Each structure stands twice: as C-alpha cells, then as structure tokens.
Structure 1
Amino acid sequence: MKTGQQPPALQVVMKEARRAIRPLIWFSAGINVLMLTGALYMLQVYHRVLSSHSLETLVMLSLMAAGALAAMAGLEVVRGRLLAKVGSWMNARLAPVLLTASVEYAASAPGQVNVRPLRDLDQVRNFFTSPSIFPILDAPWSPLFFAAIFLMHPWLGWLALGGGIVLFGLALLNEYLTRKPLTDAATAQTQAYGQAEAAIRNAEVVQAMGMLKPLMEAWKTQQDKANKGQVLAANRGGVISALARCHRLALQMAILGLGAYLVLRNEASPGIMISASILMSRALSPVEQAIGTWKATVGARAAYRRLAAVAGQHPEGTPVLPLPRPKGRFEVDSLVLARLGGEHILKGISFQLKPGEVMALIGPSAAGKTSLARVLAGAWRPSGGRALLDGMDVAQWAAEDRGRYVGYLPQDIELFAGTVSENICRFAQLDASTFKHVVRAAELAGVHELIKRLPKGYATEIGESGAALSGGQRQRIGLARALYGDPALLILDEPNSNLDREGEDALIAALSAIKAAGTTIILIAHRPNIMEKVDKILVLNRGQQDLFGPRDHVFNELAKRNGAVTQITAIAANQGVGAGPARRFTVRNSSPMSEIVAGSISGGDADAAQPPEWKKI
C-alpha cells in the first residue's frame, strides 16, 4: 500500500535541477565577461603602452590579463564539474524510476517491451558533460560582445550583428535540413538494435535452424536505412558547416577591412580594429559551435522527449506501508484484458476461491490461460475489472509488499544470473535467516537433494537465464522460488511441463503440503495425474469464461457436452492405485475442450492406463 500520490519523477527532478541553474548562469557570466580580456588587453596596449612607451604599464597590463585568464580557466573547471555533477545526480535519481517505469509499462501493455529509457538517460547525461552544451550556456552572452563592438564604432557593430544574423539563419537551416533524416535514422537504428538483440537472445534456435542469414537481411535493411539517414544528415550538416565557417572567416576579414578603413579616416584606432575582430569572433563562436554539435544536441533533445513520455507520468518511489499477511481469499470480478490496439484477450472473468482451495485453469490453446495467470499474479495490469486478494486489488498493491505473499511460476522460467540461493530468495539480502527459508522452500519443492548435487550446492552460479541448468532443474528451482516465504497465493503456469516422473511426484507432494497449510493455489496443467489435488476448475475458451465450479461438476458438464465419453471404472484397481472416482477419457475425434475430461483422475498413471486408440491430455 502506498502512502500517497506523488508528482511525476521527471517534474520533481527538473525542479530540483533548477537549483544548479543559478550557479551555472553566474559561472557562464563570469567566463564570458573575462573573455573580453584579450580584446581589452589589445586595446590598452595600442592606446597606452605604444603611445607612452611605458614598460611598467605593459607589465601591469600583462599581469592583470594573466590573472583574468587564470580566473576564467578556474570558472570553466568549476562549471564543467558542476555539469558533470548534475548529470550524475540526474542519472542516480531517474535511473531507478525509469527501470521501474519500463517494467510497469511492459506489465500494463502485453507484448510491449520498452528497454530504451536507460539509454536515453545516458545520452542526456553525456550531453551535460560534453562540449555540446557550452554553446547553449554561452549563446545568451553574445549580445554583450555585440554591445562592446557597437561602443567601439557603430559601423563595426552593424557589420558584426548582420553577420551574426546570417550565421544564426544558417544554424536554423541546418536544424531544418537535418531534423527528419536524424529522426528517421534514430528510429531505424532502434529497430536494428532490437532485431540484433532478439537474434542474440535466441542464438541456439538461430544457429540450429539456419536462420542467421534471413535475420541478417532484415537487420541489414534497418541498418542501411539508419546509415542512409545518418549520411544524408551528415552531408547536409557538412555543407552548412562549411558555409558557416567560410562566412565567419569572410566576416572576420570584412571587419578588419572596415576597421582599417575607419583607421585611415581617423575614426578608429588600430587597437579598436584588432579588438573588434576578436570580440566578433567570440560573439559568433556559440552559433558556429552549435552548428558543429547539432547532431548531439538533436539526439539529446529527442532522448529527453522520450524520457518525458516515460518518466513524465511516473512518480518516484514512495514509502510503502506493509499490509498484514492475507489469509488467501481470492476474488476476481469482471476481469478484462485488452491489447494496445483494443483487441480483447480476456473478457469478463469472475470467480471466487477460499483459503486453501486449489483451482485448475484449463482450456484449448490460445484460450488466454497464461494471460489470465499473469494478470492474477500482478505481472500484467488488467484493462478492466479487479483481482482481489483478501479485498486488496493486486494491481494496486505495491509489488514489493504484495510479492511477499504471492508465489508465481511462469510458463517460461525466468531465472537470473546469480547463485541458486539468490534466485530462490528473490535476490533478498542473504543471511542465516534468509538461507533457512531458502532451504525450506527447496525442501518443500523437492529440489533440495538436486541442489546439493550441484558443484557448489546452493552457491552454484547458474549463469544468465539459468543457462547452466537443464529445463527440469530450472523449473524445479523456479518452483522453490515461488514457494519461498510461504505465500498465501500460489500461481503455477504448467509447473510440470519440463518435469520427469520424479519431479512430478515432488510437485504433487509440494501441492499437498502447501494446500494443507492453507495456501490458495491456481495452476495451469495438462497432465491428468496432477488434477487429483484440484478443488475447482475454470474453463476458458477464446478469452471468455466457459465453465467454473467444483472439479467433478465441471468434468461431468464437459462430458455431457462432448457426448462421446466412455466411463472406465476398473482402471484404478488394475493399476494398483486403489478405489476412487470414475476415470473418464475422450475418444480421438473429441473436441479440444473435451480432452481435459481425462483429468478427473484421483491417482495413478493415466497415460499407461489408456488404450492406444484413445487420446490423452
């Protein structure tokens, strides 16, 4: 439970970052004022030293100029360090928010993964610490230099101002001509990165099935598009930059020529002629630098806009008030899940479970079982309706608090680089007390002996995504992770899909133990022997709730619908399992929904019991 609504994180960070603006303004003002040193020194040398032939005056002017230049260098060092500090501080404040926002975005938009915000933050931070930001800081002080030139002579001032306007127009033209190519190139480069990451992530499949060449063709198409945009922008920017450089040099020659003309007319001194040239060069420097660094500026601006789209609506982390441990009462009310395009994945799912009840989630392929499991676990946010655990909406419950009471085993086992212990305890701080719970979860999942046989036991590094483990080992360790902390709600998505007979027996034993402890369990399963622990069944079909009720009632209803079910009453005795409820199996031409009828078994090996012409689950 969160303590209250907070303003967006980016808004808070930028508001606090404004505290650094005032020192930056003063440092930039001091640096630009001290940059007048060269022009003033030249002016004083011509006016005072050369006319008076005073060595003492020259020495004092030189010492004063050296002191001013040293002060300017010190201010530039401090300004650079302040910018680096702001960039580092912004990264430290926003990086956790962006990672959280990216995870929540993926949870709220099924099938959509946004991994770029952290890269964008790095780009913005690097912009703060690069020379690309200096034209932005120095440009507001250009009027100071133009004003100084006007004081020397109006003609010189108008010439410098006119040349500055032309140079500024070239900068605007550069932005106009390079904006679209750079934007298109960035979009194509992002798609190329995504394709490359997907190929590397699925390297085994790519290599085994010879998919590298066609994937490279698709990647090369995007890469060529990105390169084309980059080259086009670079060519246009290069032309504008060459014109700007040529214009500045011509303007420098023009102001020297005009100054010489004024000297010949006795309207200016040689010192004014040289000083005006120096001041004009400094006044136009930010504009010329901006043209040269425009690509970095455009990239940082686009990155900031993307950050605003992610962090601009996401609040910073707020203190979480822990709620009492739930008893396990679970209620789903009119749950709806839709894709971004509006297509419904789940429609109107409703059911209730008491503490300690076990519900099986069944249905044909693409019925929405896994999607529903993700919503119920809080991994995805529903588009409508609610899933309540002891009256608390799991979508609104703070994940760090809710996670203590909910165990989740996804269909695709997602382990992380680290040790077995760290994965089981969900990367909590590992101490003696935590390790005790780790071992307990492993024993409950029946994986303790397996872990002891690993090279370093619980300290074994499993590699990225558990690459050092087999599929069955990953699934059993994933089950132990789900059982860690004795959750009140346990959601298992095909927990026996990669298990052998030994692993499946351990799973059934674990389900019996945690059910006896009062844990509410929701599982997706397709093998019949796990159904003996089920109390209720929810049948999904095309995202809609088809049936819900006690196990035997649902199986009987499915059998009635199928109309082609044969009852076998002697199989339990023949297999040595003992008496139990009637076992039902469907014929090969039955509908997909009726296939699950085979799950109404109270024990034994259903696969071995079925005749070969009968279709099992």
Structure 2
Amino acid sequence: MGLGSLKWVAVFSVATNLLMIVPPLHMLQVYDRVLSSNSLETLIYITLIAVAAMVLYGAAEAVRGILVQRAAARYTVEKADPLFEGLSKSNGGMRQSSGLLRDFNMVRSFIASRTLVGLFDLPFAPFFVLLMFMLHWSLGIITLVGIMALVGIAIMQKVITAKAADTAKETDSEALSFAQTVFSRSEDIRAMGLLPSVMQRWGSRMGASLASGDEAAGQASAFYGTSKALRKILQIAIMAWGAYLVIDGQISGGVIFAASMLSGRALAPFEQVIGGWDRISQARGSHGKLEAFLAEQANRPETMRLPEPTGHIAVESLTFNPNEEKGGKPILENVSFEVPAGKVLAVIGPSGAGKSTIAKAIVGAIQQNTGQVRLDGAERSQWPEDQWGETVGYVSQEVTLFPGSLAENIARLEIEPNEEKVVRAAMAAGMHDMAVALPDGYGTMIGPGAVMLSGGQKQRVALARALYSDPRVLILDEPNAHLDANGETSLIAAIERAKGQGRTVVIVTQRRSVLTVADYVMTVKDGRIDSYVTANFSKSQQQAKPQQAAAQAEPQAAQNTPVAAAKSERLDSEALKKRRRVAGAPGISTPAAAEPVVAPAPVQRDLGERL
C-alpha cells in the first residue's frame, strides 16, 4: 500500500503535531510576559518565531498531502495489474468485477484523503492531554473525560450504523449492476419499447439505494453532530473552569487560552474520525475483500509452458451447476467425450440443452463444479494462460468487439498488431473483402461513436480473431447464427481449411448446413449426451448442401418441428443393444439418469441417409 510513503507521512505528522504547540505557547507568553512587562521587543520576537513555525507547519501539511497522494498512486501501481488479471481469470461475472473495481477505487481514494491523515494524528492525542495535565491537573481530567466520551460515540456509531452502511452499499451495487446490464443492451430496449418498464425497475432499485443511503447518512450525521456539540461544550467547560482557577489564583490568565487551544488539538482527531467513520469503515471492508481476492489468485500454482499440442480434446465427467447451493438442476451433468486431433465435432441439440455451456467449459470461460477438460492429456489449469490463448481460438455465441480499430480487434488488442497475421486471419475467415470495403480498411475504428458492424460482420471478425494466433483448436459457438448464405459458405470453407491444416474444431450449431464438414456429431439433450455418431456424407450430398442450408435458414423453428425431432431421435435399436464402437470414433454412451457418463461405444448412424 505504498508503505514507504506512509512512513514519511508518519514522520511529517510528528513535525506538524509538535509545531501545533507553538500557538498555545505564543498565547501563554503574550498574556504572562508581554502584557505584564509591556515589552514590545518581546512581542515582536515571539510573534516572528510563531509565524516562522506556522510557515513550517503549512509546508509539513502540504508534504503530508503529497505523500498520501503518492501512496495512493503506488497502491494503484501495485494492485491494478494483479486485480485486472485476477478478474479476467475469475468466473464471478460482471457483478463481482464491478464490485471489486469499486472496492479498489474506494481504497485508492481513501489513501489519498485527509481522513487517512487524521488517523496519523490520533497517536498524538495523549501528548496534548499530558500538556493539559502540566498546565493543571483538573484541566487534564476534563480533557481526558471528553476524549473518552468521543471514543464512546465512535464505538456506538460503528455498532449502530454498520448494518445500514452495508445495506446501502449492497443496494447501490445492485442498482449500478442493473444499469450496466441495461446499457449494454440499449438497442434491444429501444427496439422492443422496453424503456418504461426498465425505467420503473431502475427507479425502484435507485429508490431502495437512496432510502438505505439516507438511513446510513442520517445515522452518521447524528453521531457527527453529537461529537461536534460535545467538543464545543468541552471547550466552554475548560474556559469556564480555567476562569475559576484564575479567580482562585491557581493559574494565570494565559493558561486559559493555551488550555483551550491544546484541548481542541487533542479532541480534533477523534472528531475527524467520527466524521469520516463511514468512509473508514467502507475502505476497511473494501480492502479486506480486495486482499482476500488477490490472495486467492496468488495462491494459484505457477504453470510452465508445455510442448506444442496436437489438439486432442478430452472432456471427463463434466458437471456444471451454478445453482447447486440452492438445489438447482445442473446445466451439464456427467458429460464425457473426446475429439481426436485434427477432427471436427459438431454439437447439436435443442435450445437450452447445454451446448454453449460445453463450449464455454472447454475454453475455460466458466468453472465447472466437477470434471476435467484436457488438451493432449494436460488438464486445463496446467496450461499457462498465454499459451492456452494462443492454442485455443474461441468464437462465443454473443460476440463482443472492443473499442479500437478493426486490426486491433483481430489481433486480440495487441499493442503493435502483426499486419501480415491480421490479413492472413481475415482472409482465412473470409472477411478480407469486407475489411477493405470499410472507410479506413483495417484501420477503421469500430464501436460506439465509430463504425457499427452488423451481427454477421461481428461474427466474421470474431472468427478472424480466433484464427489470428494460428491455434491448434477452434471452439465455435453458433458462429453462423447471423450469417447469410455467402457468409455461411465462407464459414464452411474456413472450417474445411482448418481441418485440412490438422486443427481440431468443435462447432456448436443449430443449423445442419455445417454438418457436411463434421467428422462426428454429438447431440446434447437436457445437459447430457444423447448420442455421439460418425458423420458419413456422400460426395453428392456434400455438393447439394448449399441448397439444404438455404432450406434450413430458420434453425430455431426447424429444431422444434416433428421432422427435426424424428431425425434427431431415429436410432438403430439393434445398435443400441449391442453398443458397438465405431472404428476411429471417440466413445460415448447415453447412460441411465443415475449413472455417470463414461465412454462406451457410440451408436453408428449414417447422417448422410438421415439428412
């Protein structure tokens, strides 16, 4: 946390607090020496000394402010990269990321605040109390009682306001997360006329946030007002008691004013802490969450770079259930299959079956509850992140492009994109003509406030991005969902080229047009593998496939038709009984609900006859 800077803050805090003795001493000398001796010279000299001391005090305070700013900057440098890297690897989702980034900003701003500086003044309060006892023991007692009262108020504030502060932070986080989700789909909201409903829901969340925030702020303000009033009462009490002591002849008149100033300095740090308690509490909680998250990320074992893989994928007993603690049904349950290196696996099935979840599990976009994903025998966690990213190309179902140029997006946001690799990847994805047709070609800026690409164009860019690093494995999740006939033809050609280059391809699709390039077809239903078969198309069927693709341009409707269902479910009963393994195909069975999926032989079907 920039401990070097904070050590110097402590050093300068010593200087500032020692210099704060000067005003009371000046007042004491004026009343007890200057006024009694009528010495103008003494007045001038002690005043000049006091002014010089206050100049040094101001300089020390300025240095303290600069030092806490530097401590905040150092904290940012130390924590920003590990935090960003940890969030990119975490599966906590947008809410966790947004919350931890807010926690990070909270801690950073607290380190640079005057509230932190006030905490460095707290240890000097006993020093000023001791000076009060030196002036007169009774004045010291009054100051000590006042400090104890302020400490009691601080403890009460911590206990009473904790629940309200936590609720306020939680509701505020929910409102911000809802707003971020809404803004990310603003086009859909405008198109479907959802703005009134969205505004009402946003208003209810903001209302809850304001109500809880108002409750927390009201409690904090009440305690702060009480502490301010108590401090003023104590100063009045010290002045009144000091006057009595002067009348009684126990102290001089200058002691009254010196005692008032010293008691104020002793009480000020406590009042400042009470006023900033809400901020201190939030910063402390945020710091604890950040450190716990970073410690968890740091405990991950270091991985070494592995040999270049051939592309053999093995999924073993994969189960994914994000609502397991609530007793929810798993999205994937005991899924096991293999894809030999250089082969193409097409994953089909009805909507909500778990197809996209399988793709996300393979690339590591989600963390499964149980099971393993292996590439060339090495489990996913054993591969270094950078090598895994180079080896596995991924096109997600919802394509996200980043603010920047087209070339930068294809080059995976590299600072200096390799132009030759960018063009090669674009040509492999069949989007080179699209790129050069844009206003500035590959240098065209895309995103909000720049050129907006269509859904099909985004999918082509995503495919080029997946191909940029020349990966051995391609995971394509609905890559043809927004493509027209020409785009789909380019996609099929790209898959055929990847297959010809020995790359392993897993493609999740609702359209049957891409099945002509598949070696195996896996049907997923209700989170389990319904079948795993070899694809055996004749040459004439492959040539006729463009006409089939046009006829099947509505995948969502087609998959729910009786004909499609019959095609998906038509099995050879004799083959089911014998469970014969197809030569060269990875084995998968469809077990009973109570049995885990292992790897017996698949059912042999000729998809050419079926389609």
TM-score tier, shorter chain, comes to 0.7 to 0.9
Distance (whole Å) between structure 1 residues aligned to residue 356 and residue 90 of structure 2? 18
SS in structure 2 opposite 1:539? strand
1:221 is matched with which residue?
204
Match of 2:376 among 390, 404, 415: 390
SS at structure 2 position matched to 1:426: coil
- Return the alpha-carbon distance in structure 1 between the equivalents of residues 97 and 392 of structure 2: 25
- Please give the alpha-carbon distance, in whole angstroms, between the structure 1 residues aligned to 2:71 and 2:515: 59
Q: 1:59 to 1:231 in 2, by over 3 A?
A: same
**Residue in structure 1 matched with residue 110 of structure 2 by the alignment:** 127
- Tell me, in whole angstroms, the C-alpha distance in 1 between the residues paired with 2:345 and 2:570: 15
User: What residue number does 1:9 align with?
Assistant: none
| Partner in structure 1 of residue 316 of structure 2 | 333
**Per-residue deviation, residues 401-443 of structure 1 (Å, max 9, x unmatched):** 2111111111111111111111111111335xx1101111111
Match of 2:180 among 188, 197, 214: 197
The structure whose RCO (Cα within 8 Å, separation 6+) is larger is 1
The equivalent position to 1:478 in structure 2, one of 462, 468, 477, is 462
1:277 aligned counterpart, secondary structure: helix
SS for the counterpart of 2:97 is coil
Matched, 1:413 2:392: no
User: 2:493 is matched with which residue?
Assistant: 509
Cα deviation for residue 77 of structure 1 reads 1.5
| Residue in 1 that maps onto 2:56 | 71
Identity %: 33
Partner Cα distance (1:22, 1:341) in 2 = 48
- Counterpart pick for 1:589 among 562, 571, 577: 562
**AA of the residue aligned to 1:526:** Q
1:187 equivalent in structure 2: 170
Q: Measured at CA, do residues 268 and 399 of structure 1 come closer, stay the same or move farther in structure 2, by a change above 3 Å?
A: same
| Aligned pairs (5 A) from 1:108-507 | 109=92, 113-315=96-298, 321-342=304-325, 343=328, 344-431=330-417, 434-464=418-448, 468-507=452-491
Distance 1:197 1:241 in 2: 34
Which stretch of the first structure deviates more once superposed, 452-461 or 37-46? 37-46
- CA–CA separation in structure 1 for the residues paired with 2:137 and 2:359: 77
What SS does the corresponding residue of 1:510 show, helix, strand or coil?
A: helix
| Partner SS, residue 455 of structure 1 | coil
Deviation of the 1:535 alpha carbon: 0.9
Are the aligned partners of 1:367 and 1:542 in contact in 2 as well (CA < 8 Å)? Answer: yes
Letter in 2 for 1:64: I
Work out the number of aligned pairs and report it: 565
For the residues of structure 2 that align with 1:162 and 1:587, how far apart are their CA atoms?
79
Question: Which has the higher mean CA deviation after the structures are superposed, 74-83 or 234-243?
Answer: 234-243
Secondary structure at the counterpart of residue 314 of structure 1: helix
- Residues 559-602 of structure 1 show CA distances to partners (whole Å, capped at 9, x for unaligned) of xxxxxxxxxx9995996999xxxxxx999535747348799666
Q: What is the CA–CA distance in structure 2 between the aligned matches of 1:576 and 1:369, rounded to whole Å?
A: 23
User: Secondary structure of the residue that 2:331 maps to in structure 1?
Assistant: strand
Letter of the structure 2 residue corresponding to residue 371 of structure 1: T
CA gap 1:273/1:385 in 2 versus in 1, 3 angstroms: same
Amino acid at match of 1:547: S
- Contact kept in structure 2, 1:532 and 1:600, CA below 8 Å: no
Is residue 47 of structure 1 aligned with residue 32 of structure 2? Answer: yes
Q: Following the alignment from structure 1 to structure 2, what is the Cα–Cα distance between the partners of residues 525 and 466?
A: 31
The offset of 1:475, in angstroms, is 0.9
The structural deviation recorded for 1:285 is: 0.7
1:219/1:305 CA distance change after superposition, 3 Å:
farther
Q: Which amino acid aligns with 1:400?
A: D
Aligned-pair distance for 1:57? 2.7
When structure 1 is superposed on structure 2, of 414-423 and 219-228 the one drifting more is 219-228
Aligned to 1:8: none
Q: After alignment, is 29-38 or 319-328 more displaced?
A: 319-328
- Deviation track 1:439-474 (CA, whole Å, cap 9, x = no partner) reads 111111111111111111111112149971111111
What code does the residue aligned with 1:78 have? V
1:29 aligns to 2:38 (yes or no): no
Per-residue deviation, residues 505-534 of structure 1 (Å, max 9, x unmatched): 111111111111110111112322311111
Residue 536 in structure 1 maps to residue 520 in structure 2:
yes
RMSD: 3.0
Deviation at 1:129, TM superposition (A): 1.6
User: Deviation of residue 385 (structure 1)?
Assistant: 2.1
> 1:593 and 1:489, CA in 2 relative to 1: closer, same or farther beyond 3 A?
farther
- 1:219–1:467: structure 2 CA closer, same or farther, 3 Å change rule? farther
Of residues 127-136 and 250-259 in structure 1, the stretch that sits farther from structure 2 once superposed is 127-136
For residue 356 of structure 1, report the CA deviation from its aligned partner.
1.0
* Inter-CA distance 46–144: structure 2 relative to 1 (3 Å threshold): same
Distance 1:466 1:513, change over 3 A: farther
Task: Give the distance between the partners of 1:319 and 1:190, measured in 2 at CA.
Answer: 33
**Alpha-carbon shift at residue 492 of structure 1 (Å):** 0.7
Query: For 1:110 and 1:122, how far apart are their aligned partners in 2?
Result: 19
Distance in 2 of aligned mates of 1:297 and 1:197: 27
- Shift of residue 477, structure 1, vs aligned partner: 1.3
Distance 2:608 2:563 in 1: 22
User: Does the CA-based 8 Å contact 2:153-2:223 persist in structure 1?
Assistant: yes
Structure 2 SS opposite 1:365: coil
For residue 11 of structure 1, what is the aligned residue in structure 2? none
The C-alpha deviation readout for 1:348-372, integer Å capped at 9, x for no partner, is 2222222211111122222211011
Structure 2 SS opposite 1:116: helix
- Counterpart in 2 of 1:562? none
2:83 maps to which of 69, 75, 98: 98
Given that 2:243 and 2:256 are in contact with CA atoms closer than 8 Å, whether structure 1 keeps it comes out as: yes
Unaligned 5+ residue runs, structure 1?
Answer: 1-13, 556-568, 579-584, 607-615
Going from structure 1 to structure 2, the CA distance change for 1:366 and 1:514 (only over 3 Å counts) comes to same
Pairing of 1:606-617 with structure 2 (within 5 A): none
SS of corresponding position for 1:498: coil
Describe the superposition over 1:481-501 as per-residue Cα deviations: whole angstroms up to 9, x where unpaired.
111122100111121111111
Displacement of 1:212 in angstroms is 1.6
CA distance in structure 2 between the aligned counterparts of 1:185 and 1:401, rounded to whole angstroms: 43
Q: For 1:331, what is the secondary structure of its paired residue?
A: strand
Per-residue CA deviations over 1:33-71 (Å, capped at 9, x if unaligned) read 111111111122233333333333333322322222222
TM-superposed deviation, 1:138:
0.9
Please give the per-residue CA displacement for 1:88-139, whole angstroms capped at 9, x wherever unaligned. 1111221222222223223xx5786532212221121111222222321111
Taking the aligned partners of 2:318 and 2:366, their CA distance within structure 1 comes to 12
- In 2: Cα distance, 1:490 partner to 1:20 partner: 49
Match of 1:560 in 2: none
The Cα offsets for residues 366-419 of structure 1, whole Å up to 9 and x where unpaired, read as: 221101101111222222222111222223422222111111111111111111
Q: Which amino acid aligns with 1:197?
A: Q
Distance in 2 (CA, whole Å) between partners of 1:126 and 1:574 is 65
The one-letter code of the counterpart of 1:594 is K
Structure-1-length-normalised TM-score: 0.85
Change in CA separation of 1:467 and 1:317 when aligned onto 2, cut-off 3 Å: farther
